[in-house]
Amino acid sequence: MFWILINCFGISVCIWVYYKWTRVKRYWAEKGVPHLTPHPILGSLSFLQRENPGVWMRKIYENHKHPYLGAWWFWRPALIVNSPDIARNVLVKDFPVFRDRFLSSGKTDPIGGLNLFTTNDPLWSWIRRRLAPIFTASKLRALQNLFDTKSKELIQRINNEKDKTKINLKIVFTDFTTDIIGIASFGIASDSTLTGEGPMRTVTHGFMNFDLYRGLCWSSIFFWPELVDIFRFSFFPKSTTDYFLRIFRSIAQERANKGDDEPKDLMDALLKLRNKTIDDDEDIEVSEDVIVAQAAAFVLGGFDTSGSSLTMAIYELAFHPQIQDKLYKEIKQEVDDGTGILNVTKLAEATYLNCVIKETLRKFSPMGWLDRVAMNDYRVDENLIISAGTPVYINAIGMQYDPELFPEPERFIPERFLPENKMDIKSFTYLPFGDGPRNCIGQRFGLMTLRHAISRIILNYKLEPVPGSPLPNEIEIEKRGLFLFPGEPLHVKFLPRE
Ligand code: HEM
């Protein structure tokens, strides 16, 4: 009798799973939406750990040129958007429906879950409103000295290397970006640009390590957030959270009696938010965790995105001597005034430098897909209504490689971003920093970092490819990470100019 019951139960479960699966599989077809073929367990995510999501997004754009495409994150239907018009609606026009990201870091890891990148309303709006003013051009100008000091140290580091063709670009550049963003966010001195070491660098090295466990944490945070609390997955390892809290407390104590003058760095601005309550909700207090979470998100959001972009810019330049010459001339004539200071405003106005950076970010957007979730049922167009809770992904990298939008997309052509060609770029087809109210808050900071480092390097060195190294379009992209970063060490020849 017992076995009969067990068998009946087993058969019922199998029938239920089969029935559920057939419904899941029919979901997009029933809505008349072109879709991918789902794997019975992983849905459309069978590429994870085998292919970078950015590379995958590009492929599906090339293979399915529809304005949108149905996919599944495990068994949950998700919509991939390939159309600039729908991207505009999602990111800007209908922002109230798409305020939140689908990804979530759960409740067990407050530093991971309360930061601007992962948190949702009401906390997100409150924090974003207060942090946006510290990223304005005028506030960031106060960091001129930090950018000058660190970019000079970067040159010193390259000079100190005996065999410059063995410099691992990504490692050295993330040493540099860790210093810049670490010092600006937490306000503590560090010298990983010169030494490649330091407590903050140990933390950022940890982020660059894609072992199986971290892979599971990230995949779950991005694609199945309900599992995060069940398995206590975390955005940051515990040791990192403890380190962030420790340095925050020591800096907070150091600055406790400083008075109410203008914030000097991001940490000053963050400290001002402490112990305030969120406008309409007197119960939500801006705790120490909330503050530390923002500083931690700046480090995580800033060091690898900027370090990888710098790597790819320098690598592309090594393969393009004419672009390098043009860039050198511009920086020499318009920015370098012989004082050793690369003025932030002049760098921001250097047209060709900015074209080089834009083109690098077009080809190698660290986050080639933008994540949102529909808060209500939402009409995408006259044919499709998606249900509340559906994750929506803007396929930015797909559009940025569309030959109809960016002719010869595989080629590195900074000129496409010259002011006279601006009209050729359709809006919402170029989105390396996202768009709308939830775009990258650190965009100016990231661009300042890139401008300083690229200019300093080009003023000091001619770059050439190391014989036998892969062409920029052939480099391996990190398969186990979620962002689009180089997956192999890249080197160039640094030939001193004088
Ligand atoms: C080249 C450098 C960078 C690139 C390409 C980049 C790209 C992005 C992208 C694509 C997003 C998502 C935008 C969206 O969903 O619409 C984002 C969000 C974010 N980025 Fe950046 N980023 C860079 C540098 C930085 C830096 C330096 C910081 C910190 C100072 C930073 C902090 C953040 C934060 C906190 C968010 C979440 C914003 C929110 O949800 O309100 N990023 N970034």
- Mean pLDDT in consecutive groups of 10 residues from the start of the chain, 498 residues: 76 80 89 93 90 95 94 96 98 97 85 89 87 84 91 96 93 96 87 93 82 84 88 83 88 74 75 67 71 90 95 98 98 90 94 98 96 96 96 98 97 97 95 97 96 97 97 94 92 93
Q: Which CATH superfamily is domain 50-70+85-496 in?
A: Cytochrome P450 (1.10.630.10)
Quick one: which of 498, 486, 495, 493 has its CA closest to 174? 486
Measured from the CB, is residue 116 less than 6 Å from ligand 1?
Answer: yes
To test ligand 1's pocket by mutation, which of 433, 435, 447, 485 has the most ligand atoms within 8 angstroms of CB? 433
Q: Using only the alpha carbons of the chain, give its radius of gyration.
A: 24
Cα distances (Å, whole numbers) of residue 419 to 22, 415, 449: 52, 9, 22
Which residues does 463 contact at the CB level (< 8 Å), separation at least 6? 314, 317, 318, 324, 457, 492, 493, 494, 495
The confidence score (pLDDT) of residue 282 equals 53
Please name the amino acid found at residue 52: N
Q: Among residues 220, 286, 235, 214, which one has the least CA distance to residue 109?
A: 235
Ligand 1 neighbourhood includes 180 CB (under 6 angstroms): no
pLDDT value at residue 109: 81
Does 441 contact ligand 1 (Cβ within 6 A)? Answer: yes
38 lines ligand 1 (CB under 6 A): no
Q: Residues 6 or more apart from 42 whose CB is under 8 A from it?
A: 48, 74
What pLDDT does residue 187 have?
83
Q: How far is ligand 1, taken at its centre, from the CA of residue 194, in Å?
A: 26
Number of neighbours of residue 142 by Cβ within 10 angstroms: 16
Question: Do residues 353 and 343 make contact, with C-beta atoms less than 8 angstroms apart?
Answer: no
Structure confidence at residue 60 (pLDDT)? 95
**Number of residues that make up the chain:** 498
Stretch (H or E) spanning 20: helix 2-30
Quote the pLDDT of residue 482. 87
C-alpha 498 – ligand 1 centre gap (Å):
37
Task: With CA atoms as reference, report the closest residue to 266 among 155, 341, 188.
Answer: 188
Angle between helices 288-318 and 169-186 (to 10 degrees): 150
Both tokens assigned to 174? 């993330």
Using a 6 Å cutoff on CB, does residue 432 contact ligand 1?
A: yes
Helices (H) and strands (E) in the chain, counts: 20, 10
Q: Give the span between the Cα atoms of 181 and 189, in whole angstroms.
A: 11
Cα-to-centroid distance, 439 and ligand 1 (Å): 7
Cα distance between the two ends of the chain: 90
Q: Please state, in angstroms and rounded to a whole number, the distance separating the CA atoms of residues 31 and 440.
A: 33
Distance of alpha carbon 160 from alpha carbon 156, whole angstroms:
6
pLDDT at 438: 96
Going by their DSSP bridges, the two strands 384-386 and 281-285 should be labelled as: unpaired
Q: What is the pLDDT of residue 277?
A: 62
Predicted pLDDT at 107: 79
Look at residue 142 in the predicted model and tell me its pLDDT: 84
Q: Is the dihedral of CA 423, 427, 430, 433 positive or negative?
A: positive
Greatest distance between any 2 Cα atoms in the chain = 92
Write the DSSP symbol of residue 89.
Answer: I
Query: What's the confidence (pLDDT) of residue 10?
Result: 79
CB 426 within 8 A of CB 84: yes
Residue tagged 């690598």 (tokens): 315
Expressed in angstroms and rounded, the spacing between residue 203 Cα and the centre of ligand 1 is 19
* Residue type at position 153: E
Domain boundaries, the chain: 50-70+85-496
